[in-house]
A and B are shown apart, each in its own frame.
Chain A
Amino acid sequence: MADALEGRAPIVWPDRLRVAALPPQARFVFRGDAEAAARAGDAFGATLPMTPCRAAADDARAALWLGPDEWLLLAPPGTEDGTARDIAAALADLPHALACVSDRHAALTVSGPRAETLLAAGCALDLDPRAFPQGMCTRSLLAKAEIVLWRHQPASFRLEVRRSFAAYVWDFLAEAAREHASA
């Protein structure tokens, strides 16, 4: 399926702000209890965090805590079939649900020293690094649109947006970014 944000040029205000669409990738929603999550983590290649609102990631894969029995798994594009097969095989005797949602979301990054200020235009969360440190992730609302927000680097947030909301969220951020155009 075509990427919902395809063709959107990054919004760049040097040394302040950068908003950029991310390429397509494999996504899963995994649901199950702690034992199922531990085994799914082994099969997936990234630990499914048990701490609320935390993500575990390496260069290629990430597991984001969404709820006490719900995780969002991110993997390189094209790995859907293999990942689903691996997890299903490892959990054959445990109740769980694994849904491929690769095309449900579009992803973008908001980075730079003004990233928190930009997101605060539409998000009620306290995004100060003390309240929302690197590695924290959560579902929340941005200008009434549901997002998954993840501070994947010290000064960079990753947003996962429903694809039908992606253009709206992008346009909202572009509008909000205008006030950061001049220092």
Chain B
Amino acid sequence: MLLIACPHCGPRDEAEFVCGGQTHIARPGPPETTSDAQWARYLFERDNPKGLHLERWLHRHGCGQWFNVARDTLTHEVKAVYGLLDTRPDVT
């Protein structure tokens, strides 16, 4: 079980949260100049790293806010918690 430090509420049990998958996914340009392959990558293709993963999480049974988490998928260590619109943190 993860202990996630919500930016608003502080450390809470993983059961209160919902994971929204990979974060920092950039939407491709205007549809008329975007290829099917680019759209497919944007819509369906996700990283599945062993190690550092940047994810969106929702504090569903808490403050109801989305935020970003940098998590190690191997050790489950939460390396950073930052705002949804913040830039990528300096973690490895």
Which residues of A are at the interface with B, using a C-beta cutoff of 8 A?
A: 52-53, 66-68, 70, 124-125, 138-141, 144, 146
Contacts and interface: CB of A to CB of B under 8 A. Distances in A.
Interface in B1-27: 8-10, 12-13, 15-16
Given A138-B62, A139-B62, A146-B61, A68 B8 contact: yes
B63 interface: yes
A141 B16 CA distance: 7
Interface residues of B, number: 12
B49 interface: no
Given A139-B62, A139-B63, A52 B15 contact: no
Interface of B: 8-10, 12-13, 15-16, 61-65
Contacts of A125: 12-13
B61 A67 contact: no
B interface: dominant SS = loop
10 contacts: A52-B9, A53-B10, A70-B63, A124-B15, A139-B61, A139-B62, A139-B63, A140-B61, A140-B62, A141-B13
Given A52-B8, A53-B9, A138-B9, A66 B16 contact: no
B6 to A, nearest CB: 9
The 5 closest A-B pairs by CB, nearest first: A67-B63, A124-B13, A67-B64, A52-B8, A141-B61
B46 to A, nearest CB: 28
Contact of B63 (A66, A141, A144, A146): A66
A145 B8 CA distance: 21
Contacts of B65: 67-68
B13 A70 contact: no
B63 A52 contact: yes
A52 B61 CA distance: 15
B40 to A, nearest CB: 35
Contacts of A52: 8-9, 63
A68 B62 CA distance: 11
A70 B64 contact: yes
Given A124-B13, A124-B15, 8 more contacts: A52-B8, A52-B63, A66-B63, A67-B8, A67-B65, A138-B9, A139-B63, A141-B15
A37 B21 CA distance: 32
Contacts of A68: 8, 63, 65
